Amino acid sequence: MPALIAPSILAADFANLQRDIEMINKSDADWLHIDIMDGMFVPNISFGMPVMAAIQKHSTKPLDVHLMIEQPERYLETFKELGAFQITVHLESCKHLHRTIQQIKALGIKAGVALNPHSNIQELEYVISNLDLVCVMSVNPGFGGQKFIPLTYEKVSHLKEMIVTRGSEALVQVDGGINEEIGVKLANRGADVLVAGSFIFNSKDPIATISDLKKKLNELEQ
C-alpha cells in the first residue's frame, strides 16, 4: 500500500480555517493531522477543544489527533467525542504508557505513540504489538516549518524492522520537515504515513502538491 498523506492543520491559515479544511477535503490527502499543544510539554500552544470542534464540523477526512501535552490521559475521551479516529500520545509524556494505550483502545479508536528525535525506539519494544501507529518526530516538536533531521531515515528503518519482528501491524508515521523528495525517501525506508504542513499549505497550489506527492508514492508500489 502506498504511504498515506496527512496534511498538518497547524500550517493552515487560521483566519481562513474552514476554507483550508474544505480544500483538503477536495484533495487526495488521506487523513487530517491535528497537533494539540499545551505550552508545557512543548514550548508552544496551538489550539484546544473549540477549534477541534470546528475542524470536526467541516472536515470529511479522518481526524488524526496528536497530543503534544502533559498527562494526555485526562483528555482522551474528550478528543474521541470531538471526532478523533486515532489518538497519538508521546512516549515522553506518559508515566504509564501501556495503561494510556489501553485507555485509548477502550474508547474504540486507534492508538498511536510518538517519539521525540532523541528517544530510542527500543522503549516501545514491549508495547509495539498493542499499537496501531508509531509517529517518529523528524523535527523537535512545538513549531512548524522546521528542517528535517536526517537521522530519521535510519530510525524509520530500525522501527520497521522491530514492527515486523514483533508481528505488529502498527503503521510508521513521520512528522516534520517533509517535502516530496524526503517523503519518497522515507517511504522507501518503510514509512506508511507522511505528515506534511508547510510543504503543503505554503505551496502555490496545495491540492496539486498533494496530488504530485501521491503520484510519486504510488509509483514506488509499481
Which residues, 6 or more positions from 17, have their beta carbon under 8 angstroms from its beta carbon?
A: 9, 51, 54, 55, 58
Which listed residue (35, 38, 132, 192) is catalytic?
Answer: 35
- Write a three-state SS string for 95-106: CCHHHHHHHHHH
CA distance 111 to 105: 6
Strands (E), 9-124: 32-37, 63-68, 84-90, 110-115
Four-residue CA torsion sign, 129, 90, 48, 4: negative
Which listed residue (38, 64, 132, 175) is catalytic?
Answer: 175
Asked whether the beta carbons of 112 and 141 are under 8 A apart, the reply is: no
Residue entry with cell 496501531: 132
Angle subtended at Cα 98 by Cα 94 and Cα 99, rounded to the nearest 5 degrees: 80
CA distance 17 to 146: 22
The yes-or-no answer on residue 13 being catalytic is: no
**What is the phi/psi pair of residue 179, to 5°?**
-130, -170
The yes-or-no answer on residue 192 being catalytic is: no
Catalytic residues: 35, 175
